[in-house]
Amino acid sequence: MTLNRQRAMILCILLLLAALAAAGSAREIQITTDPANQEAPAIWEDRIVWQDFRNGNGDIYLLEMATGAETRINKDTADQKYPAIWGNQIISADYRQGSPDIFVYHTVKGSGRPIATASQNTKYPRIWGGLAVWEVSHSGDDDIILYNLTSGIETTLAKGSQAQKSPAIAEDLVVWEDSRGGKSAISSYRLSTGTEAPVSPGPVSQYNPSVYGDLVVWQDRRNGNDDIYLANVVTNETRQVTSDPKDQRNPWIWGDRIVWEDWRNGNTDVYLYTISTGKEERLTTDAATQRAPRIWGDRIVWEDWRNGNADVYLYPLEVQPSPSPTTTESGVAPMPLEPVLLLPALAGAWALASLRRGR
Q: Is 309 within 8 Å of 36 (Cβ atoms)?
A: yes
pLDDT for 118 equals 66
Q: What is the mean pLDDT of the chain?
A: 84
pLDDT for 137 equals 84
Residue 17 one-letter amino acid: L
Q: What pLDDT digit, counting tens, does each position of 135-185 carry?
A: 998 766 889 999 999 999 999 997 766 789 999 999 999 999 998 877 899
Which position has the higher pLDDT, 301 or 2?
Answer: 301
Which position has the higher pLDDT, 211 or 337?
Answer: 211
Whether 347 has a pLDDT exceeding 90, the answer reads no
Q: What pLDDT digit, counting tens, does each position of 49-91 carry?
A: 999 999 999 999 999 999 999 999 988 899 999 999 999 999 9
pLDDT for 330 equals 35
Residue 162 one-letter amino acid: Q
> pTM of the entire structure?
0.83
Whether 15 has a pLDDT exceeding 60, the answer reads no
Instruction: Find the mean pLDDT for residues 306-323.
Output: 83
Instruction: Find the mean pLDDT for residues 301-309.
Output: 98
Residue 30 one-letter amino acid: Q
pLDDT class for 306, splitting at 50, 70, 90? very high
Instruction: Sketch the domain layout of the chain as residue ranges.
Output: 28-346
pLDDT for 180 equals 80
Instruction: Find the mean pLDDT for residues 4-15.
Output: 42
d(CA 63, CA 86) in angstroms, rounded, equals 13
28-346: in CATH 2.120.10.30 = yes
225 exposure class (CB count in 10 Å sphere: 0-12, 13-18, 19+): middle
Q: Is 170 within 8 Å of 155 (Cβ atoms)?
A: no
pLDDT for 354 equals 41
Instruction: Find the mean pLDDT for residues 121-125.
Output: 89
> What's the chain's Rg over C-alpha atoms?
20
d(CA 150, CA 90) in angstroms, rounded, equals 14
